[in-house]
Amino acid sequence: MQPYIPKAFELRVTVVGDAITACRIDSQASALSMVDWRHYDIENVRHDLVELAPEVEAQLLAFMKLSDLLFGAIDLIVSPDGDIHFVEINPSGQYGWIESLTGADISGDIARWLLAQS
């Protein structure tokens, strides 16, 4: 259980090595997704690629390193006052729908990371 946090919007941040893809999910645009964006309403909820503040990126990369993870799908809530709240990290999280809706190249990030290891 976790307390309810009022939302302006949510972020799904996918990290592959040092590559970060942040997708803003305007979950408050639909009654279906207001509490949990995973109650998908793709037709009414915008998904847009955004840039994170450098200090937020640094904190997420530090968290990944401390967690000994090279891939992670991180869920964040941005409250109406602009505070960012960490919800969870999924070390095998989905990202295909973000690529489909935004044109993000997360699969390319994975391929580039794999090639760099060889």
The CATH code of the domain that includes 36 is 3.30.470.20
Note the pLDDT tens digit of each residue in 37-81.
777 678 878 999 999 999 999 999 999 999 999 999 999 999 999
The SS3 of residue 79 is coil
Please check whether residue 25 lies inside any domain of the structure.
yes
Q: What is the pTM of this model?
A: 0.93
Please check whether residue 73 lies inside any domain of the structure.
yes
Please check whether residue 59 lies inside any domain of the structure.
yes
In sequence order, what are the residues at sequence separation of 6 or more whose Cβ sits closer than 8 angstroms to the Cβ of residue 28? 7, 8, 9, 34
- Residue 21 burial (CB count, 10 A): 21
Please check whether residue 4 lies inside any domain of the structure.
no
Please check whether residue 1 lies inside any domain of the structure.
no
DSSP state of 47: E
State the residue for tokens 């000994």: 68
Please check whether residue 53 lies inside any domain of the structure.
yes
Please check whether residue 95 lies inside any domain of the structure.
yes
Please check whether residue 33 lies inside any domain of the structure.
yes
DSSP state of 51: P
